Structure 1
């Protein structure tokens, strides 16, 4: 079935661009040319223009005078601030999730932990990184904190470049795996305080590692 440009909405275009930024297909500083995006996404120029405006408001895209739009460049300093905010918001979500989690969700998270362990054992950094993101998404969803979820979604894209570099740093997965497993076990015990502490400990480790890569940015 052929999809006409009129059927591809501004929301569809924004979702597609956002996903490409989050997955690293569009990198920091890369130009976003309306004509190219319109052709590749099968959307009208108006839908693309509106989507870029929406993503600018989210902080994922920036508009440069006389040069158009590009994927926003986030400094190490801003990335640090984002992680500090994430620590507070994700810790809240983890504590709430520990109060609400079901037996089925506990089993799901434990299976996820097993998959993460297997990915680290096999050296599959890409899969491990995706599973990390999925774990975060799951306990935030379990928490039922919609405003927190929306806040975290906006923050994630703004720091994706630093997250990607950190994920592929030698030895990083061996450091972070026990931290993620600790989060899962705290949730499985339905212990809000332990879940809060485990998330804060993990993101403190992330913060330290991001600061260490600052000289090489």
Structure 2
């Protein structure tokens, strides 16, 4: 029988990939059977996911997938802006020659993906870039914070991905981050990251201001 960490990881991954919709009830008995876990193990996994902000525990009503509002998404991204800027600066301080070559290749691949209108590939490269910067920075506290923020933001990030022209706007922002890190210039890398995440905040605010569909 799987332990708490196994069930938590599987359920977390399922929530992030959209297997369960926002506000969907998470029935302990059904999930225990689905994951081959005891009710006790499943309950502990839900408690852990609630602490990450992915699950909402309601008194006398059980658990459901937590829905992150646009206003919350903006606040989360404001935190991410500060932390990601720190990560970029640290990466610029620590980047090796070999890592510079890799980052330059990521930038070239991102440019090619936009030229081909291959936005799925661009999204994958976006994730690669940010995860590589975290690896280079080797700042464990920042990595933990960003992983938790990503979990809460995943649905809004998909919505950002669908905004027409968004990849073309974000490409020069990403290339500026790469330039700053590869130049081993912490201030330039941090500023470029701040501008990039700031543009995400601007786009999220446009969601909040958009009229609701009837």
The question of a shared fold, defined as TM-score above 0.5 by the shorter chain, is answered with yes
Say which of 116, 119, 130 aligns to 1:122.
116
CA contact (8 A) 1:180 1:202 kept: yes
Structure 2 unaligned spans of 5+: none
- After the TM superposition, list the runs of 4 or more consecutive aligned residues in structure 1 that deviate by more than 6 angstroms: none
Aligned residue runs from structure 1 range 37-56, under 5 A:
37-56=31-50
**CA distances 1:64-98 after superposition (whole Å, capped 9, x unpaired):** 23332111111111111111111111101110110
Unaligned runs of 5+ in 1: 1-5
Post-superposition offset of 1:128:
1.9
Partner of 1:3: none
Aligned to 1:182: 176
Task: Give the corresponding residue for 1:32.
Answer: 26
Moved more, 113-122 or 145-154: 113-122
Closer, same or farther in 2 for the Cα pair 1:108/1:85, shift >3 Å? same
Relative to 1, partners in 2 of residues 1:67 and 1:131: Cα closer, same or farther, differing over 3 Å?
farther
Map of 1:150 onto structure 2: 144
What is the DSSP-based 3-state SS (H/G/I as helix, E as strand, rest coil) of the residue aligned with 1:63?
Answer: strand
Cα distance between partner residues in 1 of 2:142 and 2:103: 20
RMSD, aligned α-carbons? 1.7
CA 118–27 in structure 1, closer or farther in 2 if over 3 Å, else same: farther
Distance 2:97 2:115 in 1: 27
Q: Decide which of 3, 8, 22 is 1:14's aligned counterpart.
A: 8
The 3 A distance-change label for structure 1 pair 168 and 155 is same
Change (3 A) 1:36 1:181: farther
d(CA) in 2 for partners of 1:86, 1:61? 20
Q: Give the superposition deviation at 1:204.
A: 0.8
